[in-house]
Amino acid sequence: MFPDVEKQMNSTRAIGILILICLLCLVPFLNKAFNIDDPTFIGMAKHIQSNPLDYFGYYMQFSPPVITNPPLVAYFIAIAGYFFGYSEISLHAAFLLPACAVIVGTYLLARDLCTNPFIAALAALCTPVFIVSSTTVMCDVLMLSFWVFSIYYWRRGIIEDKRVFLLIASALITFCILTKYSGICLVPLLLAYSLYEKRKPGEWLIYLLLPIASILLFDQITYIKYGLRQLSYIESFSIYNQNTSHKNTLANIVSGLSFLGGCILIQWLYFVVHTKKLLIFLYLAAIVSMLIIFIKFNLLNYYPITTPDGINWVFVAQLPFFVFAGVSFIFIVASDFSRNRDSDSLLLFLWVMGTFAFTIFVNWSVNARSILPIAPIAGIMAMRHLRQLNKLNVNVMRGLYAPIILSLFMALIVTSADYSLANSARTAAHTIHKTIINFPGKVWLEGHWGFQYYIESTGGVKSLNYDNPSLKKGDLVIIPGNNTNTKLLYKHLAILKNEFEFDVSKKISTMNVSTGAGFYSDLSGPLPFAVGYTPEKYYVYEMVIDKKTKFTY
C-alpha cells in the first residue's frame, strides 16, 4: 500500500483517513483526569468566561503572580466550556480539533517537501510526544497547529509571491505566539528561510514585523492593566529555574538528546531499518561512551544510575538508547541540508536545531512539550532521507510499516501510563477527602497539578502559602509525594498521621524520579518516559506546634 498510497487516494481522502486515525488514537483517553498545568489553564478560562477582558485576573490571586503563558488557549477553553461545560470529556473533545489540525497541516506541508505525504503525516501522528500532548488541555498542541499552518502559508507566500498567503501566515504566527511564547521562534526561522530563498530582503519583511509589533503591543497592554511586563517576567522565571536546577550545559545537552530521541521515536525505529548489523555495535558504543562521559565530567549525580540495591541497569540501558536516537535524528536532518543546500532543507534543519537549542538553552527545563514542534517533520525527514539514498522502492517502503506501527504502539503505551498517572491523582483526591471530610480543623495542601484541582473542588482544603503559612497546632497538611512545589515538614513541626498509596501503570512511567522519567520536566529525570514505576504516595501530617513564619527549606 505505502508505495502507491498517493495513487490510490486523493488529498481529501488521505486527510480524512489521517483524521480518523487521529481520533481513534485519542478518543479512548477523553476521560483522562486533568493533570500537570491543565488546571491552571482551566482556572484562567473560567475567569475569562465571567470577565472576558480580565485575562490575567485569575493569576493575580497568586503571590507572586505566576504568569508564564499568554491567554489565547484560555479563551479557546472558555468558549468550549461555555458551550459544552468543563468536564474532562468535553474539554478533551474540544482539543481533538487542534490535534487533527496539526496532522492536516503536516500533510499539506509534506506534499511540498517530500514524497508520500500521507506516510509522513502518519509518522508524525505516531510519535509519543504528539499522542501524549494531545491528551492534555494545555497550550502546546493548539500552538503547534498555528505553527504548522503558518509555515505552510508562509512558504507558499514566499515561493508564489502571494501577499494574501503572507498575511494569513503573519496572523497565524501572532496567534501561535499568543498561545505559547515559544512561538516567537517562528520569526527568526522564517526570516532565515526567506532570505535564503529570495537572497535579499523584500516587502515580505513587513509581514514578519507584524507579529512582533502585535506581541509588543500586547505586552504593553498587559503592563498597563496589571503592572507587569510578561516577557521580562518569563525571562527571569526561566533563568531562575535554570540556576536552581544545578545542572550544567553538558547535562542539559544529554537530557535534550534523550528527549528528542524518545519523543520522536519514529526516527530511531526508521534508523534501525537501515543500520542492520551496525545497530548493536553502535548502541553498545553509545552506552560505553556515555558512561565514560558521566564519569569524566562528574554527571552521575544528575541521574538515578545507582540505587540502594546497586546500579540501575534499566536506566543505564535506556538513556543511551534515547540519546543515540536523538543523535541519529540530528544526523538525518544535517545530512539532508548538507546534500541539498536549498531553502527547504535549511528550513527543516533550522526547525529542528532551533527548537532543540531553545529546549536546552532557553527554556526553564528540558521537557517533551518543548520538543513537540519537531514532531510534524519526523516523517518528512524519513521520506527525504530515503529519496536521497535512492531507496524509494517497494521493499524499503514496506519496511516502514514496522517503525510506524512500533512507534504508535509505544506512543499508546506511554499515553496509557500518563493517563494512569493523571487518574491516580483524581482517585487520591476523592479517597483522601473521604477520610478528612469530618475533620473539625483546617486542612492545608502542598503541591499543585491535578491533585490540587480535584481535592480543592471537594471543598474545605486550601493551598498552603509558604510565605505566610499560618499553620496552627492540630491542622492537617496533605503532601503529595510526586508533585511540584512541595516542602517537607520537620519532625518537630508535625507528625505523620496517615499515608496513602495508589497504583499507576506498572510498565512505563512519565513522571517518576526513581525511574528517571520526566516527560513534563527533566527535573524529575532525563528520560521522557522510562521502564518501571513506583506507586503514587500521599502523606497527611498533623501539626504539633504553630508555624507562622515562611518556609526557608
Residue 299 falls inside a structural domain: no
Cβ-count burial of 140 within 10 angstroms (0-12 exposed, 13-18 middle, 19+ buried)? buried
Residue 318 falls inside a structural domain: no
Our count of domains for the chain comes to: 1
Cβ-count burial of 388 within 10 angstroms (0-12 exposed, 13-18 middle, 19+ buried)? middle
All three cell numbers of 315:
536506566
Residue 226 falls inside a structural domain: no
pLDDT 10s digits, 422-437 = 999 999 999 998 888 8
Residue 37 falls inside a structural domain: no
462, β-bridge pairs? 444
Please report the pLDDT score of residue 83 as a whole number.
94
Distances (CA, A) of 332 to 16, 355, 392, 552: 30, 16, 16, 48
Cβ-count burial of 432 within 10 angstroms (0-12 exposed, 13-18 middle, 19+ buried)? buried
Please report the pLDDT score of residue 426 as a whole number.
93
Distances (CA, A) of 54 to 71, 176, 228, 430: 10, 20, 14, 32
On the question of pLDDT at 231 being above 50, the answer is yes
Residue 478 falls inside a structural domain: yes
> 348-362 b/e with 16+ CB inside 10 Å = b?
bbbbbbbbbebbbee
Model-wide pTM > 0.75: yes
pLDDT 10s digits, 236-272 = 555 555 555 556 777 788 889 999 999 987 766 666 5
Q: Which domain holds residue 431?
A: 423-543
HEC assignment per residue over 122-155? HHHHCCHHHHHHCCCCCCHHHHHHHHHHHHHHHH
* Residue 336 contacts residue 349 (beta carbons within 8 Å): yes
Residue 91 falls inside a structural domain: no
pLDDT 10s digits, 308-333 = 666 677 777 788 888 888 888 888 88
pLDDT 10s digits, 11-28 = 889 999 999 999 999 999
Residue 284 falls inside a structural domain: no
Cβ neighbors of 345 (< 8 A, separation 6 or more) are: 336, 337, 339, 384
Helix (H) or strand (E) holding 536: strand 536-543
Residue 519 falls inside a structural domain: yes
